[in-house]
Chains A and B, each alone.
Chain A
Amino acid sequence: MLQPQLTRRDLFRLAALAGGGAAAGGLLSACGADGTAPASADIAPNAKITFASTTITNSLDPHAALSNTGRSYAVQVYDTLVQFDPGGGGFAPGLATAWKRVDDTTLELTLREGVTFHEGGAFDAAAVVANIERLTGDSSGKLTQVKGFLGAVTKATAVDAKTVRITTGTPDPILLNRLTRVDIVDPSIFASSTQKASGTGPFRVTGYTPAQKIELERYARSWRSTDRVATATLQAISDPNTLASALRSGEVDIAFGLGPTQAEQMRGSFGIKATSAGSCAICSMIPAVEPKLADPRVREAINLAVNRDEFVAAGLAGYGKPSTGQLLQPGFQGYDSSFGPLPHDIAKARQLLKDAGAENLRLDIATTAIFKSQAETVAGYLGAVGIKSEVQLQELSAFIGTLLKNSTVPLLYWQTDYFDLRDIASVSRFGPQAAGVQRHFENDEYPALYTQANKEMDATRREALIKQMAKLLREQYGVLFLAWPDLVYVHSKRLVEVGLTGNSLVRLESLGKTA
C-alpha cells in the first residue's frame, strides 16, 4: 500500500507504562519478547543493526522534522535537555542534569559537563540559547512544528556556561514536557542543517539518502554511548508487507510500522515489543456535516453500536485496550480510574436512533490508508444498527485539512495523540477553535476548561480540571470512543535486549544482538 511520507502510525509513539498501563502490556509481553532471553554475556559487541520503519525523517535537521516521523532518527543522533523517564511518569536528565522553577514563568537548568558535538564544538549554555532563539525567531515557516511545541517560550538566557534560564510569556504548567521535544543541534551547522547533522547523541550520521535511509556510526564520546552497536541503518520500507518480508528474510533486525494483524502473524518466530501508546482511537462526529449528530441520543447510539472488546481483539489483534470513555489512558495526568467500560447494546442503539428520528442515517467515515481496516470495522458496526456507512480514504495531507478545517464527511476516524507532550494539551481539536473552523464537539464548556487547564500551575487543581473535561466528554458522548491502541515493534530473536526511551522510541545503543 502506498503511503505518504508521513504516516499516522508514526504519529503514535509515547508509552504510558506506569500504573494500570502495565496491565495492557502484561498480556502482550507474555506472547511477545518471550522469557527465553539469554544471559547478556551472549550479546556480541559492535553489532550492525538495520532498523526499518514505514517512513524515516523528512530532514536531517530535527527542528525541521515534521510531526513525529523524525523522532526515531533524532533520538539516536541528538539529545534533549530533559527526557521522559523510561521507568515512570516523571522526567529524567538529558543534556540538563538538574532544573528548578525560579518563578511561574522562569525555569533554570543546570547543564551536563564535558559534552561535545559530533563536529567537535563544545556543548554549553550558549548552544542552548542559540537553539531556542533559532526556533522562536523562525519566520521561514520551516520550523513551525517544533516551534509550536515550544508554546509560550519567549527567550533563553545564559546565566553562566553551565546554567540556562528559559522564560515563558505566560505561566506554562507543561514547560518540561515541551523541552523533551527540542533537540539540541550544533549551532555551527544551522546554515547547512539539511545537508549534515551534528548533535551530541550516541550515533553520528555517515550517509543519508532522502526518504530511503540514514547510515549511522557509533559516536563513542557521547555520554549515552555503549559498545553494543557499531553501525546502524535506519531504512524506510513504505509497504508494511514488504517490511514483514524483510524481517522474515533476516535483512532487517527490528521494524516499526507493521499493522497489528501483521504483527500478530509474526508472533512465535519473532520478538514483539508492544507498549501502550499515548493515543486514543476515536471517531469525531461533525454536526456541521450531519445535523442529527448534534443530538446526544444519536451520539450515544453510535457509541452503543461498537463492541470494544471485539474491536480490540479482532481489529487490533489484541494490541490495545478498550477505551473507558476518556481520551487519556492510565498513567497520564487526569486519567480517571472510576470510569467503567462502555456498554455494547444494539437494541438500545436502534431504539435511541428511532427516538431521535434518525433511522436510515448515512454516515461515511473519512480516514487515511493506515486506519482503513479499523475504520472499516467501525463501518461494519454501524451497519449492524442500520446506519449506512462507507469508508472514504484520504491521503494524509487532505485528511489533515479535513481534521483541522472543514470536513465534508460526518465521521472522522483518527487517533488523538497526546504522547508527544504526554499531556491532554496535545489534544487541541476539542479546545477553542478559530472562527470558520468546524467544531468536533459542540460544547462551550469544554474549550473553556481546556484553556483554564493549560495555565493552571497547581498540579492537583490541574488534574481536577482535566477530569472535569473527561466527564463532560463522556456524559455528552462527544466522540465515538474506541480503544487505546498499542505501539508495536517486531524484532528478530537475535535481538535479546531492546531498550526504549520514556516516549517508547528504540534506543539503538541499547540493542543487544547475539553473535
Chain B
Amino acid sequence: MRRRLAGMLTKGAGLVVVTLGILSLLFFIIRLSGDPAAILAGPGASPEQIAETGRALGLDRPLWMQYREFLADTLTLRLGDSLLTQRPALDMVLDRLPATLLLAGSTLLTVLVVAVPVGAFAARFHGRLGGRAVALLTAVVQAVPNFLLGIGLIWLFSLYLGWLPTFGSGTAAQLVLPTLTLAAFTGARVARLLRTELLEDAGADWMRTARAKGVPGLRILVRHALRHAGLPVLALLTVEVSYLVSGAVVVETLYAYGGIGKQLVDAVFNRDYPVVQATVLVVAVGVIVVNAVGEWLMGVLDPRTVA
C-alpha cells in the first residue's frame, strides 16, 4: 500500500512538472505567434491603438517578466480573467466542464456497453462468418475519420429521419450524436483489442484447465476471460482520456456542443491566454484523477499489476 502511494505521488509530481512544461510551451507559442492586443483592438485599428491596448494588458513588458509573473500566477492558481469575455477564466472552464464530463461519461458507457459484447462475439465466433463480419466491421469503423462519420450521422438521423437535433448541448437528445461519433473510434479499438486478447487467452493454460473442468463456455467468457482481458482494455481506456478531449474538439465543432475542447482551441486561436491556462490545469487534474481511478481498478482486477 505504501509503495503504491509512493508510486502515485511520484507520478503526480511528474505530472505537475510536465503540466508546467506544457503550459510554458503554450505560453511562448501563444505570446510569440500573435498579439492579443491586435485581436482586441481589431483589424481596423491603428498601430497606436494596438500599442495602447498592449500597454493596458501589460504586454509591452519584457517577455521574461511576463513569464515570471505567469509562473507565479499558475502556482498560486491566480488564473485571471479571459481577455475576450472578461469573465474569470476558471469559471468559463468550470461552466463548460459538466458538458464535457457528460459527453466523456456517455462515450465511455457506450464503448463498454457496445464494444465489450461485440469484441466477445467476434472472439467467440472467431473463424466463422459472423465473427469475421464483425471483425471486419470494427476494422472499418476504426478507419473512418470521425468528422466523416459525424457528417453521415447528421444526415441520417437529423435530416433524413428527423429524429435528433443537429446541434447544441444540454438535453439528452443533443447528447446522442456527439456520443456516437466520439464512441465509434474508441469502441472499435476496444472491441478489436478485446477480441485479440480473448483469442490469445483461449490458448492459455488456465483457460484449458477451466474447460477441462467442464465450466460452461459462457461462464468462462464472463467470469474468467473477460476479467483477464479487462486489464489491457482498461489500460487503453485510461489513455483514451486524452482522445476524449482532442477528439472532442472535432465533435464539439461539428455539433456546436459546448464543451471545453472547442473552447480551448478557440482560446489558443484568440490568444486568450488565461483560458488556455485554466483549461490545461483542469485537464491535468482530470488526468490525475482518471489515472488514479484506473490504477485502483487494475489493482482490484489483478493485484499483481501493482508494482
| Chain A partners chain B | yes
A contact set with B: CB distance below 8 Å: 1-6, 8, 11, 58-59, 61, 64, 66-67, 139-142, 144-145, 148, 194-195, 209-212, 235-239, 241-242, 245-246, 248-249, 251, 395-398, 400-401, 403-405, 414, 417, 420, 426, 428, 433-434, 437
Residues of B near A1 (CB, < 8 A) are 253
| Docked pose: A420 CA to B49 CA in angstroms | 17
Whole-angstrom distance from the CB of B31 to the nearest CB of chain A?
12
CB proximity of A492 to chain B, nearest CB, Å: 14
Q: Is the CB of B45 within 8 A of A5?
A: no
A233 to B177 alpha-carbon distance, docked (Å): 22
Inter-subunit contact B167/A251 (CB<8 Å): yes
Task: Report whether A246 and B166 are in contact in the complex, using a CB–CB cutoff of 8 Å.
Answer: yes
Main SS class of interface, B = helix
Given contacts A428-B46, A434-B47, contact A5 B269 (CB under 8 A): yes
Q: Does B33 contact A (CB under 8 A)?
A: yes
Complex interface: chain B residues within 8 A of A251 (CB): 165-167
Determine whether B278 belongs to the interface, using a CB cutoff of 8 Å to chain A. no
B167 x A420 contact (CB < 8 A): no
CA gap between A389 and B297 in the complex, in Å: 56
In Å, the complex CA distance between A211 and B257 comes to: 11
Structural contact, A5 and B266, CB atoms closer than 8 A:
yes
Quick check: B258 and A212 within 8 Å, CB to CB? yes
CB closest chain-B residue, reference A210:
B85
Residues of B contacting A59 with CB < 8 Å? 84-86
Among A4, A241, A397, A417, the one with the most B-chain Cβ atoms within 10 Å of its Cβ is: A397
Q: Would A404 and B158 count as touching, CB distance under 8 A?
A: no
Residue pair A397, B271 in contact (C-beta under 8 Å): yes
Q: Please indicate the chain B residues that have their CB under 8 angstroms from the CB of A404 in the complex.
A: 38, 43, 45, 47, 50
Given known A237-B256, A249-B162, A434-B48, contact A139–B56 (CB-CB < 8 A): yes
Leading 7 A-B pairs by shortest Cβ distance: A141-B56, A4-B269, A434-B47, A397-B34, A141-B53, A237-B256, A67-B42
| Minimal beta-carbon separation of A259 from chain B (angstroms) | 16
User: Which of B39, B49, B159 is in CB contact (< 8 Å) with A400?
Assistant: B39
Q: A144-B52, A211-B263, A417-B44 are in contact. Are A2 and B270 (CB under 8 A)?
A: no
Q: How far is the CB of A212 from chain B (nearest CB, A)?
A: 5
B41 / chain A contacts, CB cutoff of 8 Å: 144-145, 148
| Contact between chains at A210 and B46 (CB < 8 Å) | no
Residues of B within 8 A of A236 (CB): 256
Verify B86–A194 contact, CB threshold 8 A: yes
How would residues 231 to 272 of chain B score, 1 for a CB under 8 Å from any chain A CB and 0 otherwise? Answer: 000000000000000000100011110100011011001110
Contact among A142, A237, A397, A433 with B270 in the assembled complex (CB-CB below 8 Å): A397
For A242, the chain B residues whose CB sits under 8 A away are 154, 166-167, 254-256
Binding site for A on B (CB under 8 A): 33-50, 52-57, 84-87, 92, 95, 151, 154-155, 158-159, 162, 165-169, 249, 253-256, 258, 262-263, 265-266, 269-271
Number of CB contacts from chain A to chain B under 8 A: 162
Q: Is the CB of A241 within 8 A of B36?
A: no
Across the interface, do B38 and A397 meet the contact criterion of CB distance under 8 Å? yes
Asked if B42 contacts A210 (CB within 8 A), the reply is no
Contacts A2-B262, A145-B45, A397-B34 known; list 4 others, CB within 8 Å: A139-B56, A210-B85, A248-B159, A397-B270
Bound-state CA distance A67–B39 (Å) is: 9
Max chain B C-beta neighbours (<10 A), residue from A194, A212, A401, A403 = A212
Cβ of B203 to closest chain A Cβ, rounded Å: 47
Q: List chain B residues, Cβ under 8 A from A61.
A: 86
Q: Is the CB of B44 within 8 A of A397?
A: no
Q: Select from chain A the residue with minimum beta-carbon distance to B50.
A: A404
Closest CB in chain B relative to A414 CB, distance in Å: 8
**For B53, what are the chain A residues with a Cβ–Cβ distance below 8 Å?**
141, 144
Known contacts A58-B85, A64-B86, A401-B35: A142-B40 contact under CB 8 Å: yes
Q: Please tell me if the beta carbons of B44 and A420 are within 8 angstroms of each other in the complex.
A: yes
Contacts of B35 in A (CB 8 A): 397, 400-401, 405
Q: Give the distance in Å from the alpha carbon of A342 to the alpha carbon of B39 in the complex.
A: 34
Q: Kindly list chain B residues whose C-beta atoms are within 8 Å of the C-beta of A141.
A: 37, 40, 52-57
A403–B43 CA distance with the chains assembled, in angstroms = 8
CB distance from B104 to the nearest CB of A (A): 19
Whole-angstrom CA separation of A420 from B45 in the bound complex: 12
Min CB gap B249→A, angstroms: 7
State which of B34, B36, B87, B154 has its C-beta within 8 Å of the C-beta of A210: B87
B270 contact set on A, CB distance < 8 A: 4-6, 396-397
A326 to B53: give the CA distance in the assembly, Å: 32
Q: Report Cα–Cα, A312/B294, bound state, in Å.
A: 57
Q: Which of B33, B151, B165, B167 has the most CB of A within 10 A?
A: B167
